[in-house]
Structures are given as C-alpha cells and as structure tokens.
C-alpha cells in the first residue's frame, strides 16, 4: 500500500515540480507584456491586446504554479497553534483540512469543465457529455466564445488552462493527503529531488 502511495506521490510531485519550475518564468512573460504596453502607449500607437494578454499570462502563472506552491507548503497558513504540535498531530490536522481543499477543487473542476464547454460552443446542460462525445441528438452546439473587449480573443484557451490547473491542483492535494496518511502511520514518503534542486 505504501509503495503504491509513494509511486503516485513521486509521479504527481515530479510532474508538478517540473511545471512549476517552468511557470516561474511566466512572471517575466507578464512583465514583458506590460512593459510593451507601457512603451506602445507612450511612444507608439497603443496595443489593444496587451492588458488582456497580461491578465491571461497572470492566470496561467498563478493556476499552473499553484500545485507546486501546494507541494512546497508555501500557501498562506494561520499558524497560531500549529507550530507547537507534534509531526503526527500536524499530519492528522493536515489530512483533515486537505479534504476540504479536495472538495473545493472538485467543484472548481466541474464548473471549469462546464465553462470550457460553453466557450467551445456547447450550450447544453451536461458539460461532461460534450467532452466525452456522448451528446444526444437535440443538444445545441454553437459558435466559439470570444471576449467582449475590442481585441475579442477566443476564451477557450485560457479556460482550458484553468481546467488543467484545477486538475493538477486536485492531483497535488491528493498527493498531500497520501503523504499525511503515511506520516500518521509512521512512514515518510521521500521524494528524490534533482541534483540542482538540492543545492
């Protein structure tokens, strides 16, 4: 049982670590977009796409970097009593509270699937049917959703990124739950880090 848990944790943590390390550079992408926005507004014709694209870059940075943040434990935590507890008591508390996070992420994922289905032109009542190809004959499929701004970009790419981010965060939350269960039972799931991360 511990071996299967450790395998899941290694796969999910490794994947989210790699994605998180790439997403760290997303901050510079967003800064570049905003710098170009400032330059174009000051010296050239203003670009219509810059502010909305900076918002999309921020969402991507935040959503896809979130699982790595959960893995590092760098999320905000009210630490009034927690620091004085034993490791086992912390694991019990973390295992209990992460269940709320898993529930919340499940709701976000379901809502994100529905919103993404709508942005891809499906206006029915069951978004899962759209993605699995189980549409019934009378379901309506329409045009791709676009933003209401002057630039009018398609919305489905950013909604798809959000769904992917919610899914990765859900996988990471389950990984944290498995680590806590292992700690409660007196085991520690060690995650081998790459050589450059140990320094």
What are the pLDDT tens digits along the chain (199 aa)? 677 888 898 999 999 999 999 999 988 998 899 898 888 888 888 778 888 898 899 999 999 999 999 888 887 777 778 778 888 888 898 899 999 999 999 999 999 988 888 888 766 666 666 666 665 555 555 567 888 887 888 888 999 999 999 999 999 999 999 998 888 888 777 776 655 454 4
pLDDT the model gives residue 199: 42
How many other β-carbons are positioned within 10 Å of the β-carbon of residue 93?
Answer: 14
List strand residue ranges (DSSP E) for the chain, in order.
none
Smallest Cα–Cα separation from 180: which of 66, 65, 62, 70?
70
All residues at 6 or more sequence positions from 67 whose CB lies less than 8 Å from its CB, including other chains:
16, 19, 20, 165, 168, 169, 171, 172
* Token pair belonging to 21: 């390390």
Q: Which stretch of DSSP H or E encloses residue 40?
A: helix 26-43
Cα Dmax for the chain: 63
- List beta partners, residue 141: 122
pLDDT the model gives residue 63: 93
* Token pair belonging to 36: 């170009």
């Amino acid at each position: 049982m511990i071996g299967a848990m450790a395998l899941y944790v290694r796969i999910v943590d490794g994947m989210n670590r790699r994605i998180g390390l790439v997403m760290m550079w997303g901050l510079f992408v967003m800064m570049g977009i905003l710098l170009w926005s400032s330059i174009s507004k000051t010296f050239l014709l203003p670009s219509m796409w810059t502010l909305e694209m900076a918002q999309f870059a921020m969402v991507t940075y935040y959503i896809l970097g979130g699982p790595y943040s959960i893995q590092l434990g760098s999320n905000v935590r009210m630490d009034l009593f927690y620091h004085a507890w034993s490791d086992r008591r912390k694991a019990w508390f973390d295992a209990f509270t992460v269940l709320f996070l898993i529930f919340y992420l499940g709701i976000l994922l379901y809502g994100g699937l529905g919103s993404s289905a709508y942005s891809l032109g499906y206006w029915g009542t069951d978004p899962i049917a759209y993605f699995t190809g189980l549409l019934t004959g009378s379901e309506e499929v329409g045009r791709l959703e676009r933003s209401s701004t002057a630039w009018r970009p398609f919305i489905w790419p950013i909604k798809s990124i959000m769904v992917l981010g919610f899914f990765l965060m859900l996988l990471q939350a389950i990984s944290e739950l498995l680590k806590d269960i292992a700690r409660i039972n007196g085991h520690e799931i060690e995650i081998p880090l790459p050589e450059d991360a140990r320094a």
